[in-house]
Amino acid sequence: MGIGRKGREKDMGEREGRGKDREKAIGEKKEKKEREKVLGGEEMWVKGGGERGNKGVGEGEGKSGLGSLHHYLDDHQSLPDNHTSQKVHQPLPVNTPCLHHDPITTKMSRRLAEDLGYMKNDSGFFSKAVHEGVSSSKWSHRALVPPVVTSTLFDLSSDEDYFYSRIKNPTRSCLQEALAATENAKFGVVVSSGQAASSLVVHLLKTGDHIVAMDDIYAGTNTVLRDIVPRMGIEIDFVDMRDLSYVRKLLKSNTKLVWIESPSNPTMKVIDIRALADMVKQHEGILLAIDNTFMSPYFQRPLDLGADIVMHSMSKYINGHSDVVMGGVVTNREDVYNRLDSLFTTLGPVPSAFDCYLVLRSLKTLPVRMEQHMMTGLEVARFLEGHPCVEKVLHPGLPSHPQHQLSKSQSFGHSGMFSFYIKGNDLETAKNFLKKLKVFTQATSLGGPESLCVHPATITHQQLPLEERERYGITAGLIRVSCGLETPAHLTADLDQALRAAVPY
C-alpha cells in the first residue's frame, strides 16, 4: 500500500531499505493468507464458515473457522474434555483464552433479542467488527490502527494501487472493506453522506428507466426520487409496500430499481424483504435496494435476505457518535460495484480520510452499542406504551406492532428507534412536550449516544405535502425517538415529567 514510505529525496540506501520493507509486507501478507487458509479464509467470521455474502442465516453451519467453533460452543456451553480441535491450536487472530468464555458472554448479551424471538445473530459479528479491513499487514510499519492518509497524491514510480485520493485512498479502502464485511457483502463504497449514497444508487439508472419506491421513506430520499429522478428522465412510482401485490402491479419492462426502507422513517413500517426479493428476482434486470440505516448491519443484513444493494446513512448508527456525516453502499454484484465505483470516481462524493478513520473506529463498537440501544429503546417504548399521556407506540419489537412477527423473522433485534403519538395528537401539545424535555435533546438525526426526540411533521418531513404526511401517519402528534446510551431510568423519568407537564389529562 506504500504508507510510511519516506519520500522522493531519500538516498539509494534508504530506497533499498524501503524495498526490504515492502518485501517484508508481502511476506506478511502471504503468511496471513496461509493462516487464514487454515482458519477458513475470509469466511472465518461468518457463522458456520459459510461463503460470505451468499449464505442465509443458519445455512452452512459447522464447517470451518472460528465461526463454527463459536457456534458449537453456543450449543454446548463448553468444550468437551477430549476436544482436540486443531483450530484451538492454530495462531488465532483473536485472544484464544476468550474462546472458552465467549459463548457465555455472547449468550448473555444477545439474550434479549433471542428471548423475544428474533433470529439468532451471527456469533462472529463482534470479531468481524473489530478485525475486518484493518489488518496491520497492509502497511509496512504494522500499526494496529489504520493510518489516516491525508495525502491526495501518491508516488507513481512503483506499481502500487493508489493514484489520487478521489479515486482511491488507503484509509477509505480499509473502511469500505470493513463495511462490506459487516453486511456479508463482497464490495463496499463509502461516500460523503447518506444522501450521496442514495444519489449514487439512482445514477445506476438511465433515461427511460422506471423506479418503484416505498411511499413512506426518509424525506431526503423522497426528495431525490421526486425532484432529481424525473429530471433525469426516469419514471417513478411510490407505493405502500406492506402489501406486495401493489408492487407487483407496478413492475414493468423498464423497471430497473425497487427502493425500500425497512423499518421506515418515522412510522416504523416493516416490509417483507425476503418476499419482495423473491418477487423482484422473477423480473430480469431489476435491482432491489434497501436503506438499512435504522437497523445497522448488526440487526439486519438484507443481502442475506435477497436484496441486491444495501445503503446506509453512516452518519447514524454505524458512526454512532454524532460527529461524522457519511454514507455507504454495499453489494455482492460485481457489475453493480464496478458501475458504482466508476460513478464515484466521476461524481466525486469523497469522504475525508479522517472521517473514514473515525467511522472505522466506531465500527469496532457497533455490536456493543446496538445491544445497548436495543435494551434501552425497548425499555423506554414499553414504558410509554403504558403511559396515560401516550396514544400509541410504534416499535417493531413490541407485540402491538402490526409487523412484529415479520420483524422477528428477518432481523436479529431492533435499534433504539421508535415513534409514538402523544395524547390528543395536536401540534401545541407535541411542541410543549418537546420544550419540557431535559435529558432528551430536541434534534434531528439519530443513532448517537445522546437520546433525541424530533417532531417529523415540522422538522424531518416538513417538505412533504400535508395530505401525504397524514396518509403515512406523520400527524401533528407523532414524535420520533432515538434512544441513546444513557441510563434508561433517566430517560423514562424525563419523558414522564415532560408528558405530564404538556398533556392536559
Which positions lie near ligand PLP, rule CB under 6 A?
Answer: 193-195, 218, 220-221, 261, 265, 291, 293-294, 313, 315, 325, 327, 445
Minimal distance in Å, beta carbon 311 to ligand PLP?
Answer: 8
Query: 327 or 416, CB closer to ligand PLP?
Result: 327
Hey, what's the cell of 442? 430536541
Residue type, position 184, single letter = N
CA 351 from chain centre, in angstroms, equals 17
Q: CB–CB of 276/203 below 8 Å?
A: no
Query: How does strand 441-442 pair with strand 417-422?
Result: unpaired
- Cis amide bond preceding 266, omega within 30: yes
Query: 352 or 445, CB closer to ligand PLP?
Result: 445
Query: How does strand 287-291 pair with strand 309-313?
Result: parallel
Q: Give the Cα separation of 232 and 502 in Å (integer).
A: 47
b/e 331-359 (16+ beta carbons within 10 angstroms → b):
bbbeebbeebbebbeeeebbbbbebbbbb
Does 269 participate in catalysis according to the annotation?
Answer: no
Helix residue ranges, H only, 77-188? 102-109, 111-116, 125-131, 170-182
Minimal distance in Å, beta carbon 359 to ligand PLP?
Answer: 11
- Of residues 118, 162, 218, 421, which has the active-site annotation? 218
Count, residues in the chain: 505
- Of residues 209, 272, 291, 308, which has the active-site annotation? 291
The phi and psi torsions of 494 (rounded to 5 degrees) equal -65, -45
Minimal distance in Å, beta carbon 198 to ligand PLP?
Answer: 7
Does 115 participate in catalysis according to the annotation?
Answer: no
Query: How does strand 441-442 pair with strand 255-261?
Result: unpaired
Does 10 participate in catalysis according to the annotation?
Answer: no
Query: 225 or 247, CB closer to ligand PLP?
Result: 225
- Of residues 6, 10, 20, 166, which has the active-site annotation? 166
Minimal distance in Å, beta carbon 261 to ligand PLP?
Answer: 6
- Quickly count: other Cβ atoms within 10 Å of residue 424's Cβ: 17
Residue type, position 172, single letter = R
Does 166 participate in catalysis according to the annotation?
Answer: yes
Q: Give catalytic residue positions.
A: 166, 218, 291, 316
